[in-house]
Amino acid sequence: MKILFYSIKKFEKSYLLNENSNHYIIEFTEKTLSVESIELAFGIEIISISTNDDASKENLHSLFLKGVRFITVRATGYDNVDVSYANKIGLKVTNVQVYSPNAIAEHTIGLMLALNRKLMTAYTQTHNYNFTLDELIGFNLIGKTIGIIGTGEIGSIVAKILHGFGCKIIAYDIVQNLKLHENYQVNYTSMETLCSEADIITIHIPLNPETKYLIKEELIGLMKKKVMIINTARGAIVNTNDIIKYLKNGHIGYYGADVYENERGVFFNDLSITGLKDKNLATLLEMKNVLITPHQAFATDEAIKNIARITFNNIESYIKKETLANEVKIIVEKQKNKQFKRNYGTSNYY
């Protein structure tokens, strides 16, 4: 059985090889799944893709004609896959439902601390032998109000960590986790109240038609002046143009993100020679009160091991014709969309 892995990065190859205990024939390509690279899958039944691969309806149709019958996504999020069409033509899709929510939650806190305590500025200053403190004044987290949008696996761990800092935690989610209230005094409220009361807002929901550009001018206008916004979910949940507008006028005080709405072709690539053509991303990177990391929140040894292990578990279940524990079906999509039409929903998402 031959398996093709698209979008392979150097750091993950050894992890995948170590988990190939059944010695399947593996073919790696650094190319992303696209119209141009579909030919690589000719005659191959099983492929694995990542978050920046283009598994649109047209590409899925072409893959099916080439002989592909099973796709396993090496991530939790699958917004880049037209699951509805895949199910329609009989193309099985799985993902990695839970691999290490702690990795993303801890990175979220790291962004908060780095922005608040001006660690990037401090690093630059001290390496230039400038040891003054005038540009390095931050604030205490204790007593601050933190708004968590989405209290699934990741959001819940973020709440637990912030409780240890002594923060007041408010949250918005369609599914209210009573244990979070009991253990960490998390109080659920409306989206509007969360936006108007929180000193820091952190996002942990999936991207779909209902959540695209959820954080835009209407909600940003309700937020406190100098609010900090953290996004480790998906880039298009925030409207980048609006984020930049309110950063420039000073209403948003800090913005930290591990994701970007147009990251395909940018993140996971070295553009130090060719340069960056995306003007919005370039604008964000020039701001001292903005910290963008290149979709690295998942990149811990433990998380990558789990992703590789679960990916091969998915493959083995398909080959053995067993029940696919991590199968993504259209019924899941419909349920989520129904939820998000009522509200904005919950997620263990990355």
CATH C-level class of 2-99+300-342 = alpha beta
User: If we measure between CA atoms, which residue out of 24, 87, 13 comes closest to residue 314?
Assistant: 24
Asked if residue 314 lies in contact with residue 328, where contact means CB atoms within 8 angstroms, the answer is no
User: If we measure between CA atoms, which residue out of 344, 67, 101 comes closest to residue 216?
Assistant: 344
Q: List all residues 6 or more positions away from 42 whose beta carbon is below 8 Å from its beta carbon.
A: 66, 67
- pLDDT for 43 equals 95
Phi and psi angles of residue 74, each rounded to the nearest 5 degrees, phi first: -85, 55
3-state helix, strand, coil in the chain (%, to 5): 40, 15, 45
- pLDDT for 1 equals 82
Domain with CATH 3.40.50.720 in the chain: 2-99+300-342, 101-292
Told to judge if 342 belongs to the known catalytic residues of this protein, a careful annotator would answer: no
Told to judge if 135 belongs to the known catalytic residues of this protein, a careful annotator would answer: no
Asked if residue 24 lies in contact with residue 3, where contact means CB atoms within 8 angstroms, the answer is yes
- pLDDT for 331 equals 53
Q: Give burial (CB, 10 Å; 0-12/13-18/19+) of 287.
A: middle
Q: Among the options 295, 302, 327, 342, which is catalytic?
A: 295
Told to judge if 182 belongs to the known catalytic residues of this protein, a careful annotator would answer: no
Strands 187-188 and 200-203: unpaired
Asked if residue 28 lies in contact with residue 49, where contact means CB atoms within 8 angstroms, the answer is no
Coil, strand or helix at 272 = coil
Q: Which two tokens stand for residue 241?
A: 């143009």
Tell me how far apart the alpha carbons of residues 104 and 297 are, in angstroms, rounded to a whole number.
Answer: 5
DSSP bridge partners of 148: 171, 202
Q: List all residues 6 or more positions away from 263 whose beta carbon is below 8 Å from its beta carbon.
A: 52, 235, 294, 295
Q: Among the options 263, 309, 333, 342, which is catalytic?
A: 263
Q: What is the pTM of this model?
A: 0.90
Q: List all residues 6 or more positions away from 319 whose beta carbon is below 8 Å from its beta carbon.
A: 1, 46
Q: Among the options 204, 234, 261, 327, which is catalytic?
A: 234
- pLDDT for 329 equals 86
Q: For the chain, list residues with pLDDT below 50.
A: 332-350
CATH C-level class of 101-292 = alpha beta
